[in-house]
Each structure stands twice: as structure tokens, then as C-alpha cells.
Amino acid sequence: METDCLFCKIVNKDIESDFLYEDDTVVVFRDINPHAPIHILIVPKKHIRSINDLTDHDGEIVARMIAVAKKIAKKESINESGYKLLFNVEKGGGQVIFHLHLHLLGGWKKNKS
């Protein structure tokens, strides 16, 4: 837990949020400023700054994040239409919250052609 970290506060329920899912490793909630009709964040409970800060011991965390993203995509009925999974890494990569998170984006209208 980093005291100045917004996502640590959300993970620890110091800030109220509606979790779509929670287990021992991750929490999942909707992005406050969605960039797609469905925009969900998968956030590890452990404070890790970014992909750059992962160690060999964090492999299970990342695997769980992706497995949960897959489950939530199905729950949100975007598994068949398709979706994007995205990590922004550091400022140049668009990261603004320096607590690792995986973006799940989808739900765009089907292309008519």
C-alpha cells in the first residue's frame, strides 16, 4: 500500500467504488472516464508502479489479470464481438495512474459491412 496512490486507496476501500469482481489478487471496476462503451480496469491489489516494475515473482499476478479480463469480457457480452486489452506504460505511453492496471475496452457498434 502506497499512501499517495489512488488505486491503492480504491483497493483498500478507502475510496468507495463498485467492484465488478474481487479476489485475493485483483479488483475490477469501471473507468471513471470511459474511452469505449465498455471500459473496465483490472487492478492488482499489490502496488506495482508499471509493467517496467514487474519481477519474475509477479508472473502469477499478470496471468490472473488477463484471466479475469477474459472472464469479465464474457460477463459483459463482448467476448464474441471482441475487445482490446491495454497496458499504458509510463508517461510517454499514456500512463497517468502509477499503479499497474489493465484496460479492458469494447462494446463498439458492429460494423454494418
**Radius of gyration, alpha carbons of the chain:** 14
Q: Say if CB 25 and CB 60 are below 8 A apart.
A: yes
11 binds, among ligand 5GP, Zn ion, none (CB under 5 to 8 A by kind): none
Using the minimum distance from each CB to ligand 5GP, give the nearer residue, 40 or 78. 40
Catalytic residue status for 101: yes
| CA proximity to 27, closest of 98, 101, 83, 81 | 101
Using the minimum distance from each CB to ligand 5GP, give the nearer residue, 31 or 58. 31
Integer Cα distance of 105 and 113 in angstroms? 22
Residue 31 CB, shortest distance to ligand 5GP, in Å, is: 5
Residue 44 CB, shortest distance to Zn ion, in Å, is: 9
Which of 95, 102, 104, 105 lies at the binding interface for ligand 5GP (CB under 6 A)?
95
- DSSP secondary structure letters along 83-94: EEEE---TGGGT
- Catalytic residue numbers read 101
